[in-house]
Amino acid sequence: MSDKPTNSMMTDNARDWSPESWSRCASASEMQFRYPDESGLAAARARLTQLPPLVTSWEIEKLREQIAQAQRGERFILQGGDCAEMIDLCRSDLITNKLKILLQMSLVLIHGLRMPVTRVGRFAGQYAKPRSSPTETKQINGESCTLPSYFGDLVNRIDFDEQSRTPDPMLMVEGYMHAAMTLNFIRSLLDGGFADLHHPEYWDLSFFNNASVSDLRRAQYLNMSRTLADGIAFMQNLGEQRVEEATRVDFYTSHEGLNLYYEQAQTRKVPRREGYYDLSTHLPWIGERNRQLDGPHIEFFRGIKNPVGVKVGPGMQPDELIALIDALNPNNTPGKLVLITRMGVGKVADKLPALLERVRDEGRHALWMSDPMHGNGITTASGIKTRSFDDILSELEQAVDCHKQAGTVLGGVHFELTGEDVTECIGGGSGITEDDLSRNYVSLCDPRLNYQQSLELGFLLAQKMGNE
Ligand code: PEP
Ligand code: CO
């Protein structure tokens, strides 16, 4: 298919869309939550509309260009962060550690894949969560009580009482403020040399000495980290200036664009550019539960200039996927669309190939990314939500194989991770078992890979892809 749109595509897109057209969508009332306080909602939206943007259109355009490169196999995208950020956990140590693990993973991938890596954090706005049910019922003093589910700190509060669970529009302003503080700190860290690769802690992988991995694997990790450190030392010898240029680090932000009031309020025209940009983040994505073709999320995200991600689960049919691609990227623009597959370890080999082949055969431009987290949730006998490191790794490896078979490009990965020593996922070299889960389980939402599990996964992915 040519990159040229048909006339009807272009005019339909331009004619019918506006930043608020999603609210006239027949199923807009199906957004899972409702704000009962209408005047509060109007005030919060007005305030957010006046506040300055969190990101700029030129950063967004730069990311779009990098996604286009990744589509062509010239670059790789590493996306990762919390399942749900929490306003109370907007803390310097947690932000720093999240940046550090993403940076370390990216270095390992640069080395293994021999190509540049773009880092995208699930941060500075990952505050809204879709739920499988709009309400939650609990027994309180022997009586059954039903309240709205917790939709993340951008919408309501976790405590199970009526006031906390009622969607509060001012939380959108609070979320914006904390996203701004997070971003401000990240920008200062990067400007101030946080990503300076001379810092010894980036190369201290001594914890692998005690990890319960095979001797072969331990030797491979140590060998890779030694080669990496040697490479940096070599560049350093070339002169300070060269190292700084070569290792200048960009970070981009992403979040699930669940709350369309929030997204709309930050969606604007900017001088000297055509169209509207959602300036709350560089890369918003649409979740698996909100990608109905006639739904409000597709309506909103089809009209903005940002690259947009969409989750693709095992129920997706090839025809539906083509319709979704055409709705979100009618001009078939490279770098505009990220298809984030999240099939599950038992389904990926069965479901992914037909989608890859169809998109390939129809000539649609999209970046394929693998999210090996969201199809692999399990609940232990004692009721704790977890994921197994081996399942996550296996889905990733199978996705690599499916792309190889189809002759398509796996251009990125999407993880839920943290830079902390949490015990939320089982397995990996740190040997976390079901019995360890309660030791440091912090996530209010999905379980994340901890620091060591994340880095180990980076090594294994680099090894798998580097050998292909
Ligand atoms: C998520 O990324 O946190 C999420 C809810 O994913 P999905 O929409 O794929 O279930
Ligand atoms: Co999640």
Per residue in 172-215, pLDDT (tens digit) is: 999 999 999 999 999 999 888 777 766 666 666 666 777 777 78
- Ligand 2 centroid – CA 257 distance (Å): 13
Domain that holds residue 230: 7-466
Q: How many residues does the chain have?
A: 468
What 3-state class would DSSP assign to 1?
coil
Give the distance (Å) from ligand 1 centre to CA of residue 5. 31
Is residue 344 one of the residues assigned to a domain? yes
Q: Which residues line ligand 1 (CB under 6 A)?
A: 83, 130, 256, 287-289, 311, 342, 374, 446
As a whole-number percent, the residues of the chain with pLDDT over 70 amount to 91
Cβ atoms of residues 29 and 274 within 8 Å: no
State the ligand closest to the CA atom of 314.
Answer: 1
Q: For 333-385, write each residue's pLDDT tens digit.
A: 999 999 999 999 999 999 999 999 999 999 999 999 999 999 999 999 999 99
Look at residue 225 and tell me whether its pLDDT is greater than 80.
Answer: no
Residue 2 lies in a domain: no
Ligand nearest the Cα atom of residue 425: 2
Instruction: Give SS3 for 411.
Output: strand
Residue type, position 247, single letter: T
Q: Please determine, for residue 11, whether its predicted confidence score (pLDDT) is greater than 80.
A: no
Q: In this structure, is residue 231 part of a structural domain?
A: yes
Query: Which ligand 1 atom minimizes the distance to the CA of 289?
Result: 8
Q: Which ligand is nearest to the CA of 284?
A: 1
Residue 26 has pLDDT above 50, yes or no: yes
Burial (0-12, 13-18, 19+ Cβ within 10 Å), 281: buried
Q: Is residue 300 part of a domain?
A: yes
Q: For residue 393, is it within any domain? A: yes
Distance between alpha carbon 416 and the CA centroid of its chain, in Å?
A: 8
Which of 288, 292, 324, 415 to mutate for ligand 1's pocket (most ligand atoms within 8 Å of CB)? Answer: 288
Count of domains for the chain: 1
Q: Whose CA is nearest to atom 3 of ligand 1?
A: 83
CA of 84 to the centre of ligand 2 (A): 7
Segment 72-93 shows an average pLDDT of 97
- The CATH number that applies at residue 154 is 3.20.20.70
Residue nearest to atom 1 of ligand 1 (CA): 83
**Any domain includes 1:** no
pTM for this predicted structure:
0.94
Q: How far apart are CA 340 and CA 411, in angstroms?
A: 10
Is 407 in contact with 416 (CB distance < 8 Å)?
Answer: no
Three-state SS for 2?
Answer: coil
DSSP code for 52 = P
48 within domain boundaries: yes
**How far is CA 280 from each of CA 120, 187, 219, 275, rounded to the nearest angstrom?**
14, 15, 43, 16
Residue 126 class from Cβ within 10 Å (0-12 exposed, 13-18 middle, 19+ buried)? buried
Q: What is the pLDDT of residue 12?
A: 47
Does a structural domain hold residue 103? yes
